[in-house]
A and B are shown apart, each in its own frame.
Chain A
Amino acid sequence: MTAEFEKQNELELEALFDALRDEPEEPSSDLLARVLADAYEAQDARAAKAMPEPVSSGPQPARRGRIRGLLDMIGGWPAVAGLVTATVAGVWIGYNPPAALDDLTLSVMESSYSYDASLGSMLPVYSELLAEG
């Protein structure tokens, strides 16, 4: 009898639970928007916190090897660029001298700067010097 009564109670309650389940509490779009806004805000706050500190303008604790020391000594990369330019220019002028240099050489030496066999004849011959004692 009691078991039957309990069973009846159980069935009736189940009918009531069914009724309440059939009336779902759907979230409003406003609530969903508020929840999502909170979600984004929390993400943004964390992202802002996680951003690295801005790089300071002070000297970097970089490795200072011998090359770096040499560079500093001669004035850094701009100075190296100047040295390279001068070297290349020197090599080029030596290889292919401009005409203006020829004129200069002629005015000084009254001859070509290039090797001239006649110029060699002006020098005393070593064997003659020996013969003279």
Chain B
Amino acid sequence: MPFDADSELTDEALLALYASGNRAAARTLTMRLTPRVLSVAARMLGDRSEAEDVAQEAMLRLWKIAPEWRTGEAQVSTWLYRVASNLCTDRLRRRRGVGLDDAFGDGVAPADEQPPAEERMQTAVRATALQEALAELPDRQRQAVVLRHLEGLSNPEIAAVMEIGVEAVESLTARGKRALSALLKGRRAELGLSDDG
């Protein structure tokens, strides 16, 4: 059955096809879901290499569970975000065993060390600063903020991913954002934000 990455088939339908041995479904799911998993892992871990490992591992778990997938019970993307988030949390906990300086010392810097073009300079500086500040948040706050404000999930979707109530999600994102503001307060001028606050 020929269909591409822009196929209108749902993730769930593609997963059923994949489970029946369809190679094209495997390709479409890979192209569709890997970027999302990688994105959330990279935001949570601040390390490209580790994020790739997490993305691969999360996708592998999806491939393995495909035959047992129960239709209509959960969204594939929600399940995948949960698996990726949990894998990230595990890695963050292990990092703390190593020490925060070792874990975040260089890992937060973007992999691309080339100086950005002039017009992208500020964007890059802001992105880096926010990534650094995210790394300072408690795991659950970071997870909620990343899913809400970077991945664009709704609060009920995040509640399903994190297996908590919607109110708890709202509380986590609010506290996370307050903490981010506090962490970035001293860098307003550097980031091109108002410096009189």
Contact = CB atoms under 8 A, between A and B. Distances in A.
Asked if A pairs with B, the answer is yes
B181 interface: yes
B30 A42 contact: no
Interface residues on A, range: 20 to 34
Contact of B181 (A12, A20, A28, A46): A12
Given A5-B197, A36-B27, A40-B23, A19 B123 contact: yes
B155 interface: no
A26 to B, nearest CB: 7
Contacts of B127: 16, 19-20, 22-23
Interface centre among A10, A16, A23, A46 (most CB of B within 10 A): A16
A22 B31 CA distance: 20
Interface of B: 18-19, 21, 23, 26-27, 29-31, 34-35, 38-39, 42-43, 48, 51-52, 55-56, 59-60, 63-64, 66-67, 110, 122-124, 126-127, 129-131, 149-150, 177-178, 180-181, 184, 188, 191, 193-194, 197
5 contacts: A9-B178, A15-B193, A16-B180, A35-B59, A43-B18
